[in-house]
Amino acid sequence: VLASAQNQVDFNALLNALTRRSNDNNAGASNASDSKAIVSLPELDTVESSSSSSTTPASQWQIALAAAAASAGLVFWIWSFNGSVALVTFVLVFGLAVRDPLEDDSVWGALARLVGRQTISSYQASQPKLQALARAVVTGEEEIVALQLQLQALQQENQALQQWKQIRLEAEDSLGDYTVPQLKEELRQAQLPVSGTKLQLLTRLLEYQYQQQQPTNFKSK
């Protein structure tokens, strides 16, 4: 409730400063004091009910740091990344925002505290989206790695099928150039099985020679 009342006081102080006319100083001063002392009960009730269901209100130090950081960042960008000006802005805004709203009559202090509260509110509201985005990035990277592994496996499988097809065609084309005893002798020397048809024997021998990266030149016996 205290944080809500402080926010309402700062808002009323800033609103009165913006609407005060220069030719009515006395009336403006009385309106400012009245508005700071009186906070409508419906507003307090509404804020109290909403604050009980929301997160813990930020402390005065957190509000001051948020206001100073936001203001310094904006000045740093406007002044072409001038660190000295940004540092001075940080110190000044922090000094204004850290004051107690119930005791501070400065309009600039009220504005600084409102900026700090809005900065914290925006950060808290964006946290779920940022966390969801981070999870999506991590999940996306994992999916990309999985797809790359699948692609590599498919490429290896396709390469193996192409090689088998080439060996098979070569075996069918040169089947009449070799005898079964010749093929079995070559397979025995390679310590491979010698059972099967003539086409199977030649295919087995060609596969072995492809793996050993040896030429496939045979001489018929």
- Taking only the tens place, the pLDDT of each residue in 133-143 is 777 777 777 77
Q: How far is CA 152 from CA 2, 117, 157, 161, in A?
A: 63, 52, 9, 14
- pLDDT confidence of residue 55: 58
Position with higher pLDDT, 36 vs 147: 147
- pLDDT confidence of residue 36: 44
Return d(Cα 125, Cα 160) in angstroms, integer. 54
Query: Would you say residue 11 has pLDDT above 80?
Result: no
Per the CB < 8 A criterion, the answer to whether 32 and 20 are in contact is yes
Domain boundaries, the chain: 2-134, 137-211
- pLDDT confidence of residue 166: 86
Cβ contacts of 83 within 8 Å, gap of 6 or more: 76
Return d(Cα 167, Cα 204) in angstroms, integer. 9
Return d(Cα 5, Cα 48) in angstroms, integer. 9
- pLDDT confidence of residue 29: 45
- pLDDT confidence of residue 88: 92
Neighbours of 12 (CB within 10 A): 22
- Work out the mean pLDDT of the chain and round it to a whole number: 75
Query: Would you say residue 57 has pLDDT above 80?
Result: no
Q: Which whole number is the average pLDDT over 194-218?
A: 76
> Among 175, 211, 176, which Cα is nearest to 190's?
211
Return d(Cα 20, Cα 75) in angstroms, integer. 28
Share of the chain above pLDDT 70, in %: 71
Residue with tokens 């009165």: 16
Q: Which whole number is the average pLDDT over 168-188?
A: 84
Phi, psi of 104 (to 5 degrees): -95, 125
- pLDDT confidence of residue 47: 38
pLDDT tier for residue 172 given thresholds of 50, 70 and 90? confident
Q: How far is CA 203 from CA 63, 188, 220, in A?
A: 79, 14, 16
- pLDDT confidence of residue 1: 53
Return d(Cα 72, Cα 11) in angstroms, integer. 22
| pLDDT tens column, 88-128 | 999 999 988 888 887 777 788 888 888 988 888 888 888 88
Position with higher pLDDT, 128 vs 1: 128
Q: Which whole number is the average pLDDT over 158-170?
A: 85
